[in-house]
Amino acid sequence: MEENQTVANTPEYHLTSPTQTPINFTIQLSENPATTPEGYEFIISGSEPETGKTKTEQYYLPGKDHQAYLYFFEKLARDFGLRLPQNKPETFSKPSFQASLQEVLSKNLNPDILYGYGDPAVIQVKDEQDEGQPKYYLVATSNDAPHAFPIIRSNNLWDWEFVNFVFPEGQKPAWAANGALISDYWAPEMHQFGEEFRIYFVARDKHTHELCIGKAHSPRPDGPFVPDPEPILRGNVIDPHVYVQDAETAYLYWKEDNNAVWPSELIALLYQHPKLITALFPNREDQITATFMVTLWPWLQTREPMERFLITQVFIESIIVRYLTFYEDLKKLGQQQTADVQEQLQKVLHFMKTPVYAQQLSPDGSGLIGEKVKIIQNDLAWEAHLVEGIWVTRQQDKYYLFYAGNDFSTDQYGIGVAIADSPLGPFRKMETPFLQSTTEWWAPGHPSVTTDPDGKPVLILHAYFPEQAGYKQFRAILAAHVTFTPDMVMLD
């Protein structure tokens, strides 16, 4: 196999496809060149898809954001036959799912809220200064914004005001990473425990950059919040949810973020054993896409986690459109390989499942007691490579677990439901998505459950404007009234 070569100690890479790949690319890559100081310059040679003749094209990425990469891969699809990104206009199909979703908030209430209200978690709090009337408090994802986790407040669920940030600029946890495309402040939840309010959230460790679950506390729902000195849970874990059963017992739910791991593990395997590309990808455009990623691998593995996702998204899409079939093909292929390849394939297969776990919280909420229990994992076709964004609510004598599945940045993302007799399961999933993209709203996800001022159950969720799904794109808050039965949840 011909080794890819990197110019040491410079921001330039000279990359060549390994031998035994279905096609060949050569890539000259310059980081932060004078022409695009915030992005990259690529000079790529490969086969013209219609004639097979070798050609060379030059590309400038003006930045490292999601839209820049989508535009880059759209051009690569046309020039060299790679798969076209799923959320480019040519691949859109008008969603057929119909749902009555009420718009709650579709603008930033404060100039320091940069990306809207992803992963909205809402609770009701009695306002002692207002004769005990309940108020709604909502916290949301902030990604890599300088100010982390906006807190907003409402008297009626429909009219909201900005209150504060959980961590204003300069006050983020000492253990957590901070910076553009480095820090990921995701999925906060606020819960009341007696006279204390606790925030559970996701951030990256500043040394390892692994995703961790942290905790902060305050005597007031509007803060200020003081973070614990260390995460309460490490190990590439996200989307903490807390179900408060009673004054003595609460459970933490979380997801292992394995979908951020398996694409790199698979590309690394294909880089070492490129002949597997043809066996795993019968479609020609997917073979070309996989070869391109393999060629990029010596540089790709140096990127920060979220940028690596943006680069590999089109490769991921080539797999999740037939996810269950690909998973089974990978298992069968492993039976025909040498022991070392089998071991690598088993590692990829392991990370292609994203289990959700639950475990009882310690009384102070800063640790876990007892044993963790696997609640659900991705095993339905519509979920593809992940389940995430959990919220558990008890209605009558049943426990309803809402979760999201598929790719958050496309119209394939949606919400599922699983039902159990206990907060630790076993949970039985509804076979089809409870909520999917509509013509008005894309990628509904990560809901929370409360009651409206009339006492009716209502789902609070996020969604993108049509054709505007993507990392750090604006997400609005929507509401949907729901009815619970022993066997299912229905939209009103």
Active site residue 144: no
Distances (CA, A) of 313 to 6, 66, 84, 278, 320: 24, 10, 11, 20, 10
Rounded CA-CA distance 201/198 in Å is 10
Residue 320, classed as helix, strand or coil, is: helix
Cβ-contact 163, 460 below 8 angstroms: no
Cβ-contact 257, 286 below 8 angstroms: no
Cα angle: 92, vertex 97, 103; to 5 degrees: 95
Cβ-contact 290, 275 below 8 angstroms: no
Distances (CA, A) of 441 to 187, 333, 382, 432, 471: 20, 40, 18, 19, 16
Residue 145, classed as helix, strand or coil, is: coil
Summarize the chain as % helix, strand, coil (round to 5): 20, 35, 40
Residues 6+ apart with CB under 8 A from 261: 236, 351
Of the candidates 41, 317, 388, 411, the residue annotated as catalytic is: 388
Active site residue 388: yes
> 10 Å Cβ neighbour count for 245?
13
Rounded CA-CA distance 388/392 in Å is 12
Strand 40-47: give its sheet, edge to edge. 5-6, 12-16, 26-31, 40-47, 54-61
Torsion of CA 438, 443, 449, 454, to 10 degrees: -30
Cβ-contact 198, 216 below 8 angstroms: yes
Rounded CA-CA distance 209/183 in Å is 8
Of the candidates 41, 119, 144, 184, the residue annotated as catalytic is: 119
Neighbour-count burial for 121-158, b at 16+ CB within 10 Å, e otherwise:
bbbebeeeeeeeeebbbbbbbbbbbbbbbbbbbbeebe
Active site residues: 119, 388
